[in-house]
Amino acid sequence: MTTLSLLTVFAQANVGYSSSSAGYNFTYIILFLGIAILSYLVQWNLNSKFKKFSKMPLGNGMTGRDIAIKMLHDNGIYDVTVTSTPGQLTDHYNPTNKTVNLSEGVYNSTSIAAAAVAAHECGHAVQHAKAYAPLQMRSKLVPIVSFASNWITWILLIGIITVQSFPGILLAGIVLFATTTLFSFVTLPVEIDASRRALAWLSSAGITNNSNYPAASSALRSAAYTYVVAALSSLATLIYYIMIYLGRRD
Ligand SMILES: [Zn+2]
């Protein structure tokens, strides 16, 4: 989304704004560059943590799959299937068909990183079983957000270029974009709570011990930072579009 933001800063600069907006554009270029660098650092930190903890054995020989099944059963959940999915960091819980999908590296691995990821995804299955409100709200936003993501780039770009003659297009883009910002903020409690449930269970079920618990906790915390940065980036972008809309010449 930051690439889109930078693109629109330049698009806006080229449609002829008064010189007073030049300083304000510059502020946004700095802000978006700052967010881009922060996202890069957070992603780099996550990748290096996972690389490190993927080589650290859990010690009890349980694979990601074993961990997932045990955590589901310990929480009284028997109608969720644990499957393997291709790719890296593709792990997710699918509430529509009740499946915990673990990437191949996690599914078969006996590392501390695999245990943390598997337990985190099962944390989402527990949220679903317990009708955790933020997860329900997030699920309701999914169709709107997937519609928005297909059209948002074009609506916003056309909206910015035509803001002086047809401000309604930009306003429609802003409303659509706001739902994606809301989605990224609703994602925060969902992700943090899933990790909290994962860590509590890993510890209480005796899967982790005092020496490897900090690694599991650190891996999940690094993953949470990426969601925080994504939400802040989305908010900054939303404010930027609102400022363009409010700054148009009537
Ligand atoms: Zn998650």
Looking at residue 27, its pLDDT comes to 82
State the CB neighbour count (10 A cutoff) for residue 105.
20
Query: Tell me, what DSSP letter sits at residue 83?
Result: E
Alpha carbons 117 and 206: distance in angstroms, whole number: 16
Tell me the pLDDT tens digit for each residue of 125-169. 999 999 999 999 999 999 999 999 889 999 999 999 998 899 999
Backbone angles phi, psi at 100, to 5 degrees: -95, 110
Cβ contact 177:157 at 8 Å: no
Tokens representing 218 are: 């650190």
Backbone angles phi, psi at 86, to 5 degrees: -70, 160
Ligand 1 centre and the CA of 197: distance in Å? 11
Is residue 233, in this structure, part of any structural domain at all? yes
Catalytic residue among 2, 121, 201, 234: 121
DSSP per residue, 95-162: TTTTEEEEEHHHHS--BHHHHHHHHHHHHHHHHHHTT-HHHHHHHHHHHHHHHHHHHHHHHHHHHHHT
Is residue 214, in this structure, part of any structural domain at all? yes
Is residue 226, in this structure, part of any structural domain at all? yes
Alpha carbons 1 and 233: distance in angstroms, whole number: 8
**pTM summary value:** 0.86
Give all strands of the β-sheet with 81-85 in edge-to-edge order.
Answer: 81-85, 99-103, 92-94
Is residue 74, in this structure, part of any structural domain at all? no
Ligand 1 centre and the CA of 183: distance in Å? 14
Ligand 1 centre and the CA of 193: distance in Å? 9
Ligand 1 centre and the CA of 118: distance in Å? 10
Tokens representing 149 are: 């993501």
Tokens representing 39 are: 């996202």
Is residue 139, in this structure, part of any structural domain at all? yes
Tokens representing 201 are: 């269970």
Tell me the pLDDT tens digit for each residue of 83-105. 999 998 899 999 999 999 999 99
Among residues 195, 72, 60, 183, which one has the least CA distance to residue 122?
72
Which residue in the block uniquely carries the two structure tokens 């059209």? 151
Alpha carbons 139 and 12: distance in angstroms, whole number: 34
Q: Is the pLDDT of residue 24 over 80?
A: no
Looking at residue 19, its pLDDT comes to 44
The residue that leads in pLDDT, 129 or 26, is 129
Is residue 89, in this structure, part of any structural domain at all? no
Do β-strands 99-103 and 92-94 pair in parallel, antiparallel, or remain unpaired?
Answer: antiparallel
Ligand 1 centre and the CA of 120: distance in Å? 6
Is residue 47, in this structure, part of any structural domain at all? yes
Q: Is the pLDDT of residue 38 over 90?
A: yes
Ion ligand 1 neighbours, Cβ < 5 Å: 191, 194
Is residue 77, in this structure, part of any structural domain at all? no
How many domains does the structure of the chain reveal? 1
Tokens representing 110 are: 């006996």
191 is catalytic: no
| Single-letter code of the amino acid located at 124 | H
Which is it for the CA torsion 105, 214, 227, 198, positive or negative? positive
**Highest mean pLDDT of the ranges 3-17, 23-37, 213-227, 236-250:** 213-227
For the chain, what percent of residues have pLDDT higher than 70? 90
Looking at residue 199, its pLDDT comes to 98
Give the number of C-alpha atoms closer than 13 A to the C-alpha of residue 75, restricted to the C-beta side.
23
| Single-letter code of the amino acid located at 118 | A
Residue 177 belongs to domain spanning: 2-56+121-246
